[in-house]
Homo-oligomer: A and B are copies of this chain.
Amino acid sequence: MTAAYDRLKARFARIALLGEAQSMLHWDASAMMPPGGAAARGEQLAALAGLAHDLLTAPEVGDDLAAATAGGAWDAPNLALMRRAHARAAALPTALVEAMAIANSACEARWREAKAAADFAMVRPRLEEVVRLQREMAAALAAALGLDPYDALMEGYQRGVTAAELEPVFAAYEAFLREALPQAEAIQARRPAPVPLPGPFPVERQRALCRALSERVGLDYAHARLDESLHPFCGGTPTDIRLTTFYAEADVAKALMGVLHETGHAQYERGLPAAWARQPVGEAAGMAAHESQSLIVEMQACRSDAFLGFLGGELHRAFGGDPALYSVPNLAAQWRRVGRGFIRVDADELTYPAHVILRFRLERALIEGRLAVADLPAAWNEGLHGLLGITPPDDAQGCLQDIHWHDGAFGYFPSYTLGAMAAAQLMRAARRDRPEIDAALARGEMQPLMGWLREKVHGQGARLGFQDLLRHATGKPLDPADFTAHLRARYLQ
């Protein structure tokens, strides 16, 4: 280890502390802040981001990165991640960064109006500007990093996987879905329709149940809070997790499954290697890895027959009514229901990847200049029809539904499906290594699964990229067959 590397560690710790402050202010803005605080909060966050950028791109950083040496299983990747973060930041001219901040913010504001009016033309000029700048950013990053332009954007969210690797995975999934979806629908149609649980579900009791279930997953409320926000998320820092959810009196599943999902994210953050806190290698491995942790808790574990059996009893205790309503088949009939829909965030786990595949193809075409923004609505509708056989009635339910592109987030969408696939692969490996997992889930005990994840995933930090992390945990890189096997078992039998 060198003095240069030590200086870099101190600098990156400072940058990480600014990130922690930003994370807290972001949580506050969503869960606590009165509306009149919004303008100042935007300026506070921009100032912190600007200071972090200045720290990352200061002239002496380049010198220290050139001089530094570090070896070993953690310091070597830590230094490599420092170099990558610096290279990404240094590749972007300040004028471009500022232009993107302005364009993204303006487009996002207009997008809210356009979505409400279901009028793509309203946002089109601003989205064109966003896409123009994203292409510029992708080109600058690509040149500096030696990547394809779209891969350079994707790397900003998940390191260690390329579009070239994704393409055949997604093509194979499309083929699988073409057969599997009609079969699943037919099987579902032959079964009894779900009988709704007896609501309304008082918010106080939902809150207590959500908290108790997140504690079962392992969340320690000496290091966490659970609050409410319009769009649920997991924020905060590894020692101070801030979960949010949204309680609907008519639908207990919304908050319940939402909190279990966010608790999966939370446990990843809690389990990151404390010895490497505030260093690049001590962070999570990326957004796809993060999504694998929320989905392994929510989709793999908590929607399993084993856990639904336990959960039904808890729900009956909390909300009463006919015990038969809380049977595994009735809960499964409503919480594992498949169907063709327009909206990604409402999709079931079988059709969700179709929404992601559509967006992956479109955003890649936009960045590579093969698709014009003006042609996006038609391409969207055609693509969705090709994947799911349905056509949105308007653009609000089509290409205007997601905030991502309008806020300048290109290359993020694949993370959702990579996470779902990784969750299935990790669950299979965990069951192999810890055969007691399902019996424990039936008793509402998550420890065998979470203990395995802590060792194999959480505790690895960002030491490994996506494919290498899967290799380390499961013995193989991404293998979508584990995901389709999971779907076959759950929906096609």
Contacts and interface: CB of A to CB of B under 8 A. Distances in A.
A314 interface: no
Given A25-B24, A28-B28, A51-B51, A222 B44 contact: no
B18 A47 contact: yes
A221 interface: yes
Contacts of A36: 220, 222-224, 239-240
A135 B36 CA distance: 43
B25 A21 contact: yes
B34 A17 contact: no
Q: How many copies of this chain sit in the oligomeric assembly?
A: 2
A37 interface: yes
A237 B21 contact: no
Given A24-B28, A33-B240, A17 B39 contact: no
Interface string A37-54: 101110110011011000
A10 to B, nearest CB: 11
A20 to B, nearest CB: 5
B221 A37 contact: no
A168 interface: no
Given A14-B47, A32-B32, A223 B20 contact: no
A349 to B, nearest CB: 32
Contacts of A225: 32-34
Contact of A40 (B20, B25, B28, B222): B20
A35 interface: yes
Contacts of A20: 40, 44
B239 A39 contact: yes
Contacts of A239: 36-37, 39-40
A237 B42 CA distance: 13
Contacts of A48: 17-18, 21
B35 A237 contact: no
A462 to B, nearest CB: 19
B34 A221 contact: yes
Interface in A104-126: none
A17 B47 contact: yes
B224 A34 contact: yes
Interface in A197-251: 220-225, 236-240
B44 A223 contact: no
A20 B41 CA distance: 9
Contact of A240 (B34, B47, B50): B34
Give 10 closest A-B pairs by Cβ, nearest first.
A37-B240, A36-B223, A17-B47, A36-B222, A40-B239, A20-B44, A21-B44, A17-B44, A36-B239, A21-B21
Interface of A: 14, 17-18, 20-21, 24-25, 28, 32-37, 39-41, 43-44, 47-48, 50-51, 220-225, 236-240
Given A17-B48, A21-B47, A35-B222, 11 more contacts: A14-B51, A17-B44, A17-B47, A28-B28, A32-B32, A34-B240, A36-B224, A39-B239, A40-B238, A40-B240, A41-B240
